[in-house]
Structure 1
Amino acid sequence: MRKIVILSLMILGQSIFAQELALVKEKAKIGYIDKSGNYSVQPTYDSAKDFSDGLAAVKVKDSWGFIGKDGQMVIEPSFSRTRDFNDGLCAVERDGAWFYINKKGEKQTMPYSDKIYDFTSGVAVMKVGNKIGAFDKAGKVTIPAEYDVIKPFQNGFARASKNGQWGIIDTNGKVIVPVEYKDVGEYVNGVTWAQKEKSYGVIDGNVFTVVEGADKIWDFGNQTLTYARRNGKVGFVDKAGKWIIEPKFAKARAFNQNLAPVFEGGKWGYINIEGNYVVEPSYNDAESFSNDGLAPVKGKSWGFIDTSGKLVIPMEYDISISFGFTEKNKGFNGGVSRVKKSGKWGFIDTKGNLLGNKWFYNAELFHN
């Protein structure tokens, strides 16, 4: 019986930790709701940040501390400024000095850096003079400070530059794509784009293939096609650098669910991977499909269509005002979408139901 109770408590703890919460502001106070729309943390804070790595920074009087998802204070307020927890560590400021802490609030000794950077993919960038390197969570330097620029790591890879040339490195400093290109994109599933002298092309592994006539290529996403431009028109290329859909559109966005939004004749529609219209151009704006199988489309306001092109949620919302939204997080994320109506923010599910039947003065995306 005792083992069953302990196991149940462990499962409950894991469930709470895995639960995503969204920061919301009701009147003048900030709290956090779960995906049922109910408060997990009551709105009691004047200033607070999103959850990240299981903790959220909250301000009490003049100091910042961190709460867990049960609303209990985990790290007592004692910091003048904070970043977000990632990989179990967070950069904080106290008495004018920045340093790292762990989830117990203990100060961590790390290699010297002129500027403090957040951990991503298990490493943090360090700046020594005019050069950039990186170190891991144990404080071990994994990349000597020999680069001019290292962009934030994503899924274990980062764009890096030396002497005006760009390539891709991993968190151990291994060169994945040689640092010899004028520009390079994000490294996704072993593929990226690059510019070499005046030519644009695709790199699959570390082999560069020129895309005939291309003067711009966008990052690859969830599928093996990405969009590219030639002579002012946009089409789609594969990871071998071959034009799969000839450039004939004024604008385009990424494929997902085997559909991509394209702009032609002053309106947006959706094509399949053969380049044929599944949804004829009829919208003033359109975004890529999410993994939930819905895409935001705009008439006077925003609604959502399914992969057959059927409008399943009416066009009566705003979705992309402020908060630095990108194409990747507009619309549905994990079964809910952040929307605005009549000046208030809330969340709807894939059926169009308002979570908790409640609107807020402000709302952010759900985070772990």
Structure 2
Amino acid sequence: MLKKMALTLLFTTMVFSTNVAEQSQAASETAMQAQTGDQLYPIEVNGKYGFINGKGKEVIEAVYDGYGYSGVSGGTVYVEDHAAKKQYYFSSAGSELFEYKLRDAGILYNDRALYATQVQNADGTKATRYGYIDSHGKVSIQPIYARAFNFSEGLARVNVGKASGYINTKGELVIPYRYSSTSDFSEGLASVVLAFGGKYGYIDTTGKLRVTPRYDYATPFSNGAAVVYVNGKYGYIDKNGNYLLKPQFSMAQPFSEGLAFVERNGVTFYINKKGTKVIQGFTAGGLFKGGLAPASQGQRYGYINTSGRFVIKSQFYWADAFNGELAVISLLDPNSREEIRGYMNRSGAIVWPPASELPYGVTKLQ
């Protein structure tokens, strides 16, 4: 009997997920492209969670109640045991590292993970404060922060009061508390806002202002470019703040492998950094990873190469960009019409769920 499987690719399931949800997607995407080691992928079987490796082998048995996952090659993961009120951290190879109190800590980034605790104020009231544990589960940075975020490129943005600054992995304040809004570092730069309601600019890892604040919104750098928003339109800048493409798009994705999916005047297409239309005829498109990107011309998704040709034909109900060796895809069971989510490798073979649990004939996709 087919086991229904749903994959929710959350970066964390900890109690302070509102902080983690604000982590920059582009920074995570950059990390995903640095294929430096093993990688694990979350699976769900009959309401329980575990992890497989890039070949589809079950490395952490799907017997747990929840999980935490960064999506980074070589990154750690954790699984939750609600009965024991613990979460167990594993290396990317599947070796157990340490255990921690359930939902009091998040995913390790740069060998540091956020944790939350209750502290008592001078007036007797209690407040939540954030600190960091190391890769052994030991406190490395004391919980003194009213807000805190994951490390990225060796720095994490934190708040003691209303203003935000950046600390290093030793807990040293390296960029002072002076910003109303901050983002994670990506490719050596982070977008910041000095005053509430102000414009966005970019600083480097020393805190030096590299791009003068002048954008209504600014996203992390990816592939040497950043999407910025000005007067209701999106454009792209380089690391000096010069326009690669002036604001003209109603939708703009980050550049990946030299291409970006955009919309202008109701028409969607891929462009290069000169703004030339390189791939046309698609109603939906995603990021290129290793030469492949999910794309759709209508009702179904497939994977195209950088020439715009389908390498894996359009047949999926939904498809995500590749993360390492695997991509999340969604099919409809031809018999029940229920949605089946799983993982596919770059050859078009479904590596999870196992072939024995798939509908007849659904094993290889070309």
- TM-score (normalizing by structure 1): 0.68
Give 1:78 deviation, angstroms: 2.4
Q: Which residue of 1 aligns with 2:206?
A: 172
The structure that is strand-richer by fraction is: 1
Asked if structure 1 preserves the Cα contact closer than 8 Å seen for 2:152 and 2:185, the reply is yes
Q: Which residue of 2 aligns with 1:187?
A: 221
Q: Which residue of 2 aligns with 1:73?
A: 96
Q: Which residue of 2 aligns with 1:3?
A: none
Larger Cα Rg: Structure 1 or Structure 2? 1
Aligned partners of 1:48, 1:141: CA distance in 2, in Å?
31
Aligned partners of 1:309, 1:219: CA distance in 2, in Å?
17
Asked if structure 1 preserves the Cα contact closer than 8 Å seen for 2:223 and 2:257, the reply is no
Give 1:308 deviation, angstroms: 5.3
Give 1:158 deviation, angstroms: 1.0
In the alignment, structure 1 residue 339 sits paired with structure 2 residue 329: yes
Aligned partners of 1:308, 1:196: CA distance in 2, in Å?
31
Structure 2 residue corresponding to 1:41, chosen from 51, 60, 64: 60
Asked if structure 2 preserves the Cα contact closer than 8 Å seen for 1:292 and 1:335, the reply is no
Q: Which residue of 1 aligns with 2:300?
A: 301
Q: Which residue of 1 aligns with 2:28?
A: none
Give 1:153 deviation, angstroms: 2.0
Q: Which residue of 2 aligns with 1:119?
A: 151
In the alignment, structure 1 residue 221 sits paired with structure 2 residue 287: no
Q: Which residue of 2 aligns with 1:354?
A: 350
**Secondary structure of the structure 2 residue equivalent to 1:18:** coil
In the alignment, structure 1 residue 57 sits paired with structure 2 residue 78: yes
Q: Which residue of 1 aligns with 2:164?
A: 132
Give 1:202 deviation, angstroms: 5.5
Q: Which residue of 1 aligns with 2:317?
A: 318
**Secondary structure of the structure 2 residue equivalent to 1:82:** coil
Aligned partners of 1:72, 1:34: CA distance in 2, in Å?
13
**Secondary structure of the structure 1 residue equivalent to 2:318:** coil
Q: Which residue of 1 aligns with 2:187?
A: 155
Asked if structure 2 preserves the Cα contact closer than 8 Å seen for 1:58 and 1:64, the reply is yes
Residues 248-303 of structure 1 show CA distances to partners (whole Å, capped at 9, x for unaligned) of x5233544xx6x9xxxxxxxxxxx97547x66x3x554445443335432443222
Q: Which residue of 2 aligns with 1:251?
A: 267
Give 1:168 deviation, angstroms: 0.1
Matched AA of 2:44? K
Distance 1:190 1:336, change over 3 A: closer
RMSD of equivalent CA atoms = 3.7
Distance 1:106 1:353, change over 3 A: same
Aligned partners of 1:310, 1:85: CA distance in 2, in Å?
38
Q: Which residue of 2 aligns with 1:83?
A: 106
Asked if structure 2 preserves the Cα contact closer than 8 Å seen for 1:169 and 1:177, the reply is yes
Give 1:128 deviation, angstroms: 2.6
Give 1:334 deviation, angstroms: 2.9
The share of aligned pairs that are identical, in percent, is 20
Give 1:90 deviation, angstroms: 0.3
- TM-score (normalizing by structure 2): 0.68
Asked if structure 2 preserves the Cα contact closer than 8 Å seen for 1:159 and 1:185, the reply is yes
Structure 1 alignment gaps of length 5 or more: 1-16, 235-248, 261-271, 321-329, 362-368
Distance 1:34 1:178, change over 3 A: same
Aligned partners of 2:224, 2:313: CA distance in 1, in Å?
39
Aligned partners of 2:241, 2:93: CA distance in 1, in Å?
49
Residues 70-120 of structure 1 show CA distances to partners (whole Å, capped at 9, x for unaligned) of 544321232443221100000123566543110111111348321232111
Matched AA of 1:337? A
Matched AA of 1:351? S
Give 1:199 deviation, angstroms: 9.6
Q: Which residue of 2 aligns with 1:7?
A: none
Asked if structure 2 preserves the Cα contact closer than 8 Å seen for 1:289 and 1:296, the reply is no
Distance 1:350 1:127, change over 3 A: same
Structure 2 alignment gaps of length 5 or more: 1-35, 119-127, 334-338, 359-366
**Alignment length, in residue pairs?**
302
Residues 22-71 of structure 1 show CA distances to partners (whole Å, capped at 9, x for unaligned) of 11011132111112111112222121222556321222222223123454
Aligned partners of 1:316, 1:221: CA distance in 2, in Å?
25
Asked if structure 2 preserves the Cα contact closer than 8 Å seen for 1:100 and 1:109, the reply is yes
Aligned partners of 2:266, 2:298: CA distance in 1, in Å?
19
Greater Cα shift, 180-189 or 339-348: 180-189
Aligned partners of 1:215, 1:69: CA distance in 2, in Å?
39
